[in-house]
Amino acid sequence: MAYDFLGLVNEVNRRLNEVELTSANFATATGFYAHAKDAVNASIRYINQSEFEWPFNHSTNSVTLVAGTTRYAFPADAQTINFNTFRIQRNSLLGNDTVKLHVISYEEYLDKYVSQEYDSNTTGTGVPTMVFNTPELTFGLTPEPDEAYTLTYEYFTFPSDLSAYDDTPTIPVRFKHVIVDGAMHYAYLFRGNSQDAMLAKQKLDEGLKQMTTLLINRFSNVRSYMIPQNTGGGGRIGFARLPLGS
Average pLDDT of adjacent 10-residue blocks, the chain of 246 residues: 94 96 97 97 97 96 96 96 97 96 97 89 83 96 96 97 98 97 97 96 97 81 57 49 46
Start-to-end C-alpha separation, the chain: 42
pLDDT value of position 180: 98
Coil/strand/helix, residue 122: coil
Query: pLDDT tens, 146-162?
Result: 999 999 999 999 999 99
In contact, 59 and 154? CB cutoff 8 Å: yes
What pLDDT score was predicted for residue 24?
A: 97
90: left (phi over 0), alpha (psi -120 to 50) or beta: beta
Between CA 157 and CA 75 the distance in angstroms is 9
CB 164 within 8 A of CB 5: yes
Specify the DSSP class assigned to residue 4: S
Cα 2 to chain centroid, rounded? 24
Specify the pTM: 0.81
**What is the dihedral sign for C-alpha 133, 134, 139, 141?**
negative
156 closest CA partner among 63, 65, 218, 74: 74
Class of residue 33 by CB neighbours under 10 A (exposed 0-12, middle 13-18, buried 19+) = buried
> What is the model's pLDDT at position 202?
97
> Which residue in 193, 245, 196 sits closest to 220, CA to CA?
245
